[in-house]
Amino acid sequence: MTAAPSPEPGRDCPLCPRLHGFIAGWREREPGWFNAPVPTFLPPEGEDSVKLLIVGLAPGLRGANRTGRPFTGDYAGDLLYGTMIAHGLARGEFKARPDDGLQLVGTAITNAVRCVPPENKPVGAEIATCRTFLKPTIARFANLRAILTLGSIAHQSTVRALGERVAAIPFRHGGRQEAGGAALFSSYHCSRYNTNTGVLTEEMFVNVFKEIAAFLKT
C-alpha cells in the first residue's frame, strides 16, 4: 500500500534543481531567513475548519521566503490580510511578521509554487512539479467550499490540480466558476506591480472578497 502524497514538501526538497540551487545561495547570503519551501498557512482551528483556500503564485524573495509565512513581509500581504480581516476571514493585526498573532478564520493560504523563483518567475516544469503538493493540499480540506486563485498561473495550476481543463475554465478577474466540486473564484494578483500600474485597484480586490464572503454565508 503506497502512502498518500504529502501536501508539504520537505525543507530541502530537491525536485526543482533551479529553485533548490537558488534557495541554497540565499541560505549562504541570509542564514537568518526561512529560505525553504513555504508551508500552507492554516487557521488555529485546523484543516477541518477550512472552507476557503487562497492560492497564490510563489513566495516573494524578501516576503514569504524570508519570513516563512505566505504573503508576509511584502506589499501583497498588506492588501490581502487587510481585506481578509475586513471580511471576517482573518482576525488580529497584520504586522508583516510571522509572530504578529494574526489568525486565519475558516481559510487557508498556500502557493502554486512553494519555493521562491528567481525574478518571481517559475517555469512551466516547476509549476507542474509543485502541483504534486497542490493536489493533496486541496484534498486535505474535507469541508472546502471555495478556492480563490490570485493570478493566471495560480489559476491554471489549480484548475489542473482539480482535474479540469484550463480551456474550459479560463482565468478572468472577478470570475466565479465551478471546478472539482468547489466554487473557483479568481482575481488579479495583489502584487505591488499590479496595484501601481492600475491592473488591480483596491476596490476591485475588495469586491472579489465581498462576493466570496457572501457565498460562504449561504
**3-class secondary-structure state, position 32:** coil
Place of cell 472579489: 208
Distance CA 18, CA 139 (A): 28
What superfamily does domain 38-217 belong to in CATH? Uracil-DNA glycosylase-like domain (3.40.470.10)
Read off the pLDDT of residues 13-23 as tens digits, 9 standing for 90 and up. 999 999 999 99
Distance CA 61, CA 103 (A): 23
Q: Do the Cβ atoms of 104 and 40 come closer than 8 Å?
A: no
Beta strand residue intervals within the chain, DSSP E: 52-56, 90-91, 103-104, 107-111, 146-150, 176-179, 182-187
2 pLDDT exceeds 70?
Answer: no
Angle CA(118)–CA(120)–CA(126) in degrees, nearest 5?
75
What letter does residue 41 receive in the DSSP assignment?
B
User: Looking at residue 121, what is its pLDDT?
Assistant: 95
Read off the pLDDT of residues 131-166 as tens digits, 9 standing for 90 and up. 999 999 999 999 999 999 999 999 999 999 999 999
1 pLDDT exceeds 80?
Answer: no
Domain ranges of the chain: 38-217
Distance CA 158, CA 134 (A): 7
Q: Do the Cβ atoms of 112 and 57 come closer than 8 Å?
A: yes
User: Looking at residue 3, what is its pLDDT?
Assistant: 57
Q: Is the dihedral of CA 15, 51, 72, 102 positive or negative?
A: negative
Confidence band of 74 (pLDDT split at 50, 70, 90): confident
